[in-house]
């Protein structure tokens, strides 16, 4: 079902990065885009640039999302909003766990609950869930993020089962490292962060992710592109590591040495 068959879109986390790029890409297709984010100033600038309709809403505000969904029959839903607090689970903080679950998974579940049934009833719609390679592969120091993104991956698969027999398509987008400001948001707004994660690397841009999403949406109605991993050519996932057991203390207690 090409863009011409869709009229309205809801994009969360739209104020910057991938979300803003998606809004810009959809507006080029004359889609009426409703952009959600917490930053009113950034949304105002986005609206002036693209002509989108903005809503200063936290994705965890179910009442506000429900009110919006009750008024507008969305043809495209992009669940893009997300946060991260990189930390090994052995050092996990209660508040960080709650935040990641609330924003990255619970909000996605409730937004789908509010919008996807309407798509099914109209026999038309496309859900785009922005997940992560972290939902499919493991790397150190990000345990809660891995868990919630794996949940989004399973939800994406399950939505197709629940909407079976209707022309509601579901696409999970799994980016690797992308050249956006997300690293400053996560690790702190310091020049060393950009040097660590962005400078000197050959990385996809936010617009590249938006173009991939546009490709999936523009496919014929008979085509559902269900899963896309988008990574730098010079990035790989995985890697085999094997640790030696820690040596026992010399006093014979059997307790490991530091």
In degrees to the nearest 10, what's the CA dihedral of 93, 96, 98, 103?
Answer: -170
**145 in catalytic set:** yes
Q: Is there a contact between 169 and 127 (Cβ–Cβ < 8 Å)? A: yes
Locus of tokens 């989004």: 152
**Gap between the Cα atoms of 10 and 28, Å rounded:** 15
Catalytic residue, candidates 3, 26, 145, 197: 145
Q: Which residues of 101-124 are buried (b: 16+ CB within 10 A; e: fewer)?
A: eebbbbbbebbbebbbebbbeeeb
**Gap between the Cα atoms of 134 and 129, Å rounded:** 14
Where is 146: in which H helix or E strand? helix 143-162
Q: Show the CA angle centred on residue 116, arms to residues 3 and 204, nearest 5°.
A: 55
Among all residues, which ones are annotated catalytic?
145
């Amino acid at each position: 079902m090409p863009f011409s068959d869709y009229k309205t879109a809801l994009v969360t986390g739209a104020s910057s990065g991938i979300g803003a790029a998606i809004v810009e890409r959809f507006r080029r297709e004359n889609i009426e885009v409703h952009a959600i984010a917490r930053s009113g100033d950034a949304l105002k600038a986005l609206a002036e640039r693209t002509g989108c309709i903005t809503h200063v809403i936290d994705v965890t505000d179910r009442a506000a999302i429900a009110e919006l969904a009750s008024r507008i029959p969305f043809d495209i839903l992009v669940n893009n909003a997300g946060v991260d607090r990189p930390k090994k689970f052995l050092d996990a903080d209660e508040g960080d766990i709650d935040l990641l679950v609330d924003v990255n998974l619970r909000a996605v579940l409730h937004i789908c609950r509010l919008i996807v049934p309407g798509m099914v009833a109209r026999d038309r719609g496309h859900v785009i869930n922005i997940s992560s390679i972290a939902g499919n592969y493991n790397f150190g120091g990000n345990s809660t993020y891995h868990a919630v993104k794996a949940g989004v991956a399973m939800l994406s698969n399950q939505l197709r089962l629940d909407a079976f027999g209707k022309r509601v398509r579901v696409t999970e987008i799994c980016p690797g490292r992308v050249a956006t400001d997300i690293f400053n948001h996560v690790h702190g707004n310091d020049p060393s962060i950009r040097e660590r994660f962005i400078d000197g690397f050959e990385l996809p841009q936010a617009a590249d992710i938006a173009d991939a999403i546009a490709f999936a949406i523009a496919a014929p109605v008979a085509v559902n592109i269900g899963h896309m991993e988008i990574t730098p050519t010079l990035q790989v996932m995985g890697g085999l590591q094997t640790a030696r057991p820690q040596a026992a203390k010399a006093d014979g207690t059997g307790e490991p040495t530091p």
